[in-house]
Amino acid sequence: MSDSTLELAYPVEIGDTVQVKQCLDESLITTLDATYPRSIRLDTIKVSLMIAACFFALIAQFTPEPFPESRLTLGICVSLYFVCSGLLQAVTTFVEKDTVFTAADKSFEVRTELKRFESDYSFKVVVNEKVVFSENWSIGLFFTEDGYFWNEGFEAKVKEVVTQALGKKKE
């Protein structure tokens, strides 16, 4: 890969798996968004829960009553804040799991995983809760030693794999 094909103006710390996965996932979403409409249902639910939690926090913070009299209000607001936070965590952990992209028509979803201290990016295309394509890619295929991301190469690989996987689905 030549320097002219590198898109990021700054390097990614390739030892930081969270940063590497975030870079790859964002590129994957951008690539698939251009071809397939994306479902934002879970994102809407998560944002709604965050807004509700912030609303309860604001009520608790700016209640006009002085502290001893506002204990009940504070207790209710803090409890509701933790309920919203717990629901948000449950949605992220048990519903969303490792799903990065879901097509708007729910025809397929893409799941990814990059385990801590690992260099293999796991990529799965799932149709009706069945994995129709699964592959592991070394992050070295898409990052230089200095941490620069080769976006064009990654986009081409994602398009190729998703097209191939959805072709298998039709068979």
- Per-range mean pLDDT, top range of 35-39, 47-51, 135-139: 47-51
Strands 130-138 vs 120-127: parallel, antiparallel or unpaired:
antiparallel
Cβ distance 150 to 6 under 8 Å? yes
- Give me the number of domains the chain comprises: 2
> Given this model, what pLDDT does residue 16 score?
87
Split at pLDDT 50, 70, 90, the class of 1 is: very low
If asked whether residues 135 and 123 sit together in one domain, one would say yes
Q: Which domain holds residue 22?
A: 11-38+103-170
Cα separation, 90 vs 93, in Å, equals 5
pTM higher than 0.85 = no
Cα separation, 16 vs 58, in Å, equals 35
Domain-ending residue, one of 49, 64, 96: 96
pLDDT above 50: residue 86: yes
> Given this model, what pLDDT does residue 10 score?
67
- Considering the domain boundaries, does residue 1 fall inside one? no
- Considering the domain boundaries, does residue 18 fall inside one? yes
- Considering the domain boundaries, does residue 158 fall inside one? yes
If asked whether residues 107 and 166 sit together in one domain, one would say yes
Mean pLDDT in residue range 57-61? 93
